[in-house]
Structure 1
Amino acid sequence: MTSSIQENFGLQYHNSLPQLGHSIAELLQFFGANRVYGVGGDFVANLINSLESTLAVLPSSNEMHAGFSACAQAEVAGLGVCLMTYTVGSLPCISAAALARTEGLPVIFLSGAPGENEIAQHALHHTVHPHSAWHTDLNAALNAFKALGIRAERLQGQRHTGQPNIAAEQCLSLLSHAYINRQPVYIEIPRDLVNLATQALSLPANLDALLAPRLNLTGAEFIAAEIIEKLAHSSAPLLFLGEKLRLNPALLASLVQLCKRHQIPYAVTWFAKGMVDEADALCLGCYNGVFSHTIGKIYIETMADYVLEIGTSIFPSDTNNAFGSQTHAIDNHPNKTMLKGTAMWEQDILAVISILDTITQLTPIPRSQPASDFINNKPALIDENRQRLEPLEPLSYANLAKVINAAQITLPRPYIFIPEVGNAFFASFELETLGNQLGRSFFANPWYAAMGTSLPYARAIADELQWQQCQQPILVITGDGGFNFQSNELINLQKQNANITILYMRNNVFHLGKAGNAPIYHCNHQGFDPKILIQAYGGVGHVCQTITELLDTLKRTATGGLHLIEINTPIALEQQSEISRKLNSYIGFKNGDPTAMRQWQSLCGNSQEK
């Protein structure tokens, strides 16, 4: 005769076992999550009831947007959580899961699932099951997430009446995997397990203990000595910071401090834009070869005689490396040391930098005169770069960033920028990203290039700002195509009383990469009025046609509330941003368009793609 847990281990042990749902809530809080984004459903109802007493379980307009908001949450809070029901809810999250995997974001996708007591020889609703099938497939979502290279598991219940299930421990293992490896995980939770007892957990004292940082590599002292030797013989050094440092703010801060202590100029990759304060005297901005519009481009390309490159991608991406144009001076620099950060949580970089700090505090690196001259001259270069704005000049992508930069310096607090993929995104590289309490001032998905993320991202960032009691203004910059992908998320911006300004750049077409006049490129109708739409969601609509109008409107809207500013955006070549003009040439070149091929080859100074 089988025994129960109480009979097997006693009443005291039996009474110490928590319900699985409560353990999951405790685990999410342990990893720093104070809110969850999702869409309800039958299979996830029990889990929602277990979480809502300790976490904010927030609605999204659809599951994909919930996933995108969780991605933004991971960027600003260290961990994101998305909640959905079985298959009809989890499968729409695949795009967000791909984004999280690509950007290296620890996002937890929690899905309700059929109870273990429901599995039988019949098809359950929500299963992917054609009428002609001879078997039911309960693992469609699990297999879909696994196909992306994501760890995906279904929690397991009790397998013997005398033994408690270890579903909570299984969940801890999955959350730890996401946090330590900065990767998403997918967890299915059978609904009949949520209210059942699970084995109690003994959690570490804190997340640092969970990481248990231990570097099983040697040789950091040799690398540090080589770097010091090269810095000592350099007259114009450069520290080039990569996107891997976005999720390691402590290491990033130590690197910036190293630069300040020794007066070493630094720049960041395109994918790292917004993670440092570009107003800092030593910051040379965001660099990407021929596509760069940074004040430090002259120093990077003509003066730097030694580059210390830290935290850049292991495998170079075309977007981040000047689209294969061979114009990226740092890629081709003859005197360079690269610390990619191949150990977990960049512990190998940290080991080298710690030794550098120890040695150079005792024996400072000689100050480099050319670097100092450039730094001292930087304010004059900035003033020269900020050309005088013509008040009545019509607005376009060509002057958009210049106007926003002019408006930003008049505000009490600088913007957090969230550009949508498309022309708006590439025009945004000319924006000046400044320091703030959040630690980031530019959020986009340049690697995965997921259109339709800016409003879900804005929503999550607004939540985090509210959590931190920070009044930073948010500026979303979107084309009409990208906006129409996601306008249903406005309902949640209304519910949270968000303070967000949306720049709605209108040309009624998907223009970036447009190669013809097929209807697929036409994303809008001339009769659509976004000002009326934003009013329906409790916001205020504006139209700006000139530089003066936009400057005045940005100053007014930054004080709070939900605003949409419509700007009619011509698509003539001279009215596009310079980066977009170059990128359209690149896209046409890759697609074999003869005119674009000539433009691209002329741009890069090459007779053929290298």
Structure 2
Amino acid sequence: MATSIEDNFGDEYYQHLPQFGASLGELLCFFGVKRTYGVGGDFVANLINALEPHVEVLPSSNEMHAGFSACAQAELNPLGVCMTTYTVGSLPCVSAAALARTEGLPVVFISGAPGENEVNSHALHHSVHPSTAWNTDLDAALNAFRALGIRAERLQGQRHSGQPNIAAEQCLDLLTYAYLNRQPVFIEIPRDLINQPTQSLRLPSQLAQLTGDQQLSLSGAELIARNIEKKLTAASSPLVFLGEKLRLNQALLTKIIAFCRQQGLPYATSWFGKGMLDESDSLCLGSYNGAFSEIEGKAYIESVADYVLELGTAISPSDTNNAFSSQTHAVDSHKNKTMLKGTSRWEQDISVVMDLLQSAHLTPRKLPAQFGDGVIASNIDSLMLGYHNLAATINLAQGELSKPYIFVPEVGSALFASFELQTLNGDLGRSYLANPWYAAMGTCLPYARAIADQLIEMGSKQPILVLTGDGGFNFQANELINLQKQAANVTIIYMRNNIFHLGKAGDAPVYACNHLAFDPKLLIQAYGGQGHLCETTGQLIDCLVQSAAVGGLHLIEVPTSTEPEYQSEITKKLNTYIGFRNGNEEATSAWKTLCGE
């Protein structure tokens, strides 16, 4: 005869057990989650109802956008959370999961699933099951996420009548894994588990205790610090180069910047680290990427620095972040360099070395002469707007605002022009969030949506500036409905040339992204925003200043020429390099000239 939990462990214990849905809500709150993004559906309906008392369950225009918003959320919080229904909802999130996997973002992808009592020989309407199949595939989404190298599990219900299920403990393990390892996870939750009793959890009093406050298990930090101390003392023009791993470790980044200021050490970051530094700081050289860089600190990095302390860069270099493997990245090839990649969890090894350096007997240097504002403000004298003077114009406009922008560029020409923008301190601690290639187009508006939610929670009026081409915008315009519902303070600069121009290699119809009759200014009005047309640098500055003062949703259409003189310097260099790699003789000659050969 089956034994009930109540009979087995007693009524007092049984009454102590929470329902799984409530336990999951408490777990998300413990990890600092205040909102989830997603799309409703039959298999996730019970979960939505269970979580609503604990977190905001916010809609997205589609599942992929929900995943992208969760990625932006994870850039700014301990976890990002996306919630969808079974397979037809979770499988469209795979692009966002690839982004989270590549960027090392702790995103939790939650999917409803068939109840364990529904699994039998019949094909469920959301299962991947062609009519010719001999078996029902219930694990399609699990396998898809696992194929990306993501930990993916389906929660288990009760396996013995006398024992509560372990679903809450499974979730705690998965959320802890995502948090500690900065990796996405995928969780399928059978819908009949939501209202079942689960084992009660004993959580730490605070999130930081999950790390166990463990000491660094690696030895030799004192020897590394001593070696760095000797090299810093011998160097006349040192450089600290900060990698993108530090953007998710604010405490360590703050410690390093404080050390640089204490010692008068110039510092720069990689393209993927852009936005984590205040580029107006007198010691900041900006965001560097070899021959493709357009920053005033470039000369110091490439021709002056005689010792480089490289901290928190990727173990395996990315071609995008390392000058597209063009061998022009001076930090990569510097002969006098110490690299601390951060090979222990949460870069504890770097942190311990920095503590030792801060207590070392180093003589502070006199602050070097001002390196400039971190960006080159050239081409602003050209009245006609284009990518060639877009960043310089925005930098001037930003100087007139009471609060600086948070920049959200879209993949394409807008992304490469955005590396010339000046990022300043803001309320979020990050002033630039971008998807550098991995999920292709379609992320800037979902990112802006998550940033706006965070700012609203903080009571901040800081403006968000989205930079996008018309191709990228058309991928995601349906997300405007959620920006409207938020009353978000977002301005969209819409660079219009009616084609997918970056990487264009012919005249096939696939490159056409617009119709000449399309009027995005009317579209933004339909979403309660204001549309503007700017064709000159002066018009754009005035419009940006006025839009920030008014607040709300704005779209600024900028007609953009595709002629080379109207492209950003970075894009021109990239197109030249691509042509060189493809064997184009003219591009090869131009590239060699660019490299001084």
| TM range, smaller chain | over 0.9
User: Which residue does 1:128 correspond to in 2?
Assistant: 128
User: Which residue does 1:511 correspond to in 2?
Assistant: 501
User: Which residue does 1:469 correspond to in 2?
Assistant: 459
User: Which residue does 1:171 correspond to in 2?
Assistant: 171
Residues 206-605 of structure 1 mapped to structure 2, 5 A cutoff:
206-214=206-214, 215-359=216-360, 363-367=361-365, 372=367, 375-378=368-371, 381-382=372-373, 385-387=376-378, 389-390=380-381, 393-446=383-436, 448=438, 450-559=440-549, 560-605=551-596
Equivalences, count:
595
**Does 2:77 correspond to 1:77?**
yes
Could you list the structure 1 runs, at least 4 aligned residues long, displaced by more than 6 angstroms after superposition. Answer: none
User: Which residue does 1:86 correspond to in 2?
Assistant: 86
In structure 2, distance between residues paired with 1:377 and 1:185:
45
In structure 2, distance between residues paired with 1:386 and 1:132:
63
Q: Residue 331 of structure 1: SS of its match in structure 2? A: helix
**Which letter maps to 1:201?**
L
Provide closer, same or farther for how the CA distance between residues 288 and 387 of structure 1 changes in structure 2, counting only shifts above 3 A.
closer
**Does 2:158 correspond to 1:158?**
yes
In structure 2, distance between residues paired with 1:238 and 1:333:
11
Provide closer, same or farther for how the CA distance between residues 195 and 33 of structure 1 changes in structure 2, counting only shifts above 3 A.
same
Q: Check whether the contact 1:271–1:447 (CA below 8 A) recurs between aligned residues.
A: no
**Which letter maps to 2:326?**
S
CA deviations over 1:40-71 (Å, ceiling 9, x no partner): 00000000000011110000000000000000
Using the TM superposition, give the Cα deviation of residue 465 of structure 1 relative to its aligned residue in structure 2, in angstroms: 0.7
Provide closer, same or farther for how the CA distance between residues 57 and 384 of structure 1 changes in structure 2, counting only shifts above 3 A.
closer
Using the TM superposition, give the Cα deviation of residue 591 of structure 1 relative to its aligned residue in structure 2, in angstroms: 3.4
In structure 1, distance between residues paired with 2:271 and 2:252:
19
Q: Residue 239 of structure 1: SS of its match in structure 2? A: strand
In structure 2, distance between residues paired with 1:334 and 1:243:
22
In structure 1, distance between residues paired with 2:127 and 2:320:
39
Provide closer, same or farther for how the CA distance between residues 385 and 443 of structure 1 changes in structure 2, counting only shifts above 3 A.
closer
Using the TM superposition, give the Cα deviation of residue 409 of structure 1 relative to its aligned residue in structure 2, in angstroms: 0.4
Q: Check whether the contact 1:213–1:347 (CA below 8 A) recurs between aligned residues.
A: no
**Which letter maps to 1:519?**
P
Q: TM-score, normalised by structure 1?
A: 0.96
**Does 2:67 correspond to 1:100?**
no
Q: Residue 322 of structure 2: SS of its match in structure 1? A: helix
Using the TM superposition, give the Cα deviation of residue 376 of structure 1 relative to its aligned residue in structure 2, in angstroms: 2.2
Using the TM superposition, give the Cα deviation of residue 323 of structure 1 relative to its aligned residue in structure 2, in angstroms: 1.1
In structure 2, distance between residues paired with 1:518 and 1:384:
36
Q: Check whether the contact 1:513–1:588 (CA below 8 A) recurs between aligned residues.
A: no
In structure 2, list runs of 5 or more residues that go unmatched.
none
Provide closer, same or farther for how the CA distance between residues 366 and 473 of structure 1 changes in structure 2, counting only shifts above 3 A.
closer
CA deviations over 1:142-199 (Å, ceiling 9, x no partner): 0000000000000000000001101000010000010000000000000000000000
Using the TM superposition, give the Cα deviation of residue 213 of structure 1 relative to its aligned residue in structure 2, in angstroms: 3.5
Computed over aligned residues only, the root mean square deviation of the Cα atoms, in angstroms, reads: 1.4
Q: Check whether the contact 2:484–2:528 (CA below 8 A) recurs between aligned residues.
A: yes
Using the TM superposition, give the Cα deviation of residue 605 of structure 1 relative to its aligned residue in structure 2, in angstroms: 4.3
Q: Check whether the contact 2:487–2:553 (CA below 8 A) recurs between aligned residues.
A: yes
Q: TM-score, normalised by structure 2?
A: 0.98
Using the TM superposition, give the Cα deviation of residue 467 of structure 1 relative to its aligned residue in structure 2, in angstroms: 1.0
Provide closer, same or farther for how the CA distance between residues 226 and 447 of structure 1 changes in structure 2, counting only shifts above 3 A.
farther
Q: Check whether the contact 1:232–1:366 (CA below 8 A) recurs between aligned residues.
A: no
In structure 2, distance between residues paired with 1:590 and 1:463:
43
Provide closer, same or farther for how the CA distance between residues 213 and 605 of structure 1 changes in structure 2, counting only shifts above 3 A.
farther
In structure 1, distance between residues paired with 2:484 and 2:424:
27
Percent identical across equivalent pairs?
Answer: 66
Using the TM superposition, give the Cα deviation of residue 449 of structure 1 relative to its aligned residue in structure 2, in angstroms: 5.2
**Which letter maps to 1:128?**
V
In structure 2, distance between residues paired with 1:189 and 1:386:
53
CA deviations over 1:335-364 (Å, ceiling 9, x no partner): 1000000101001111111111122xxx23
Q: Residue 376 of structure 1: SS of its match in structure 2? A: coil
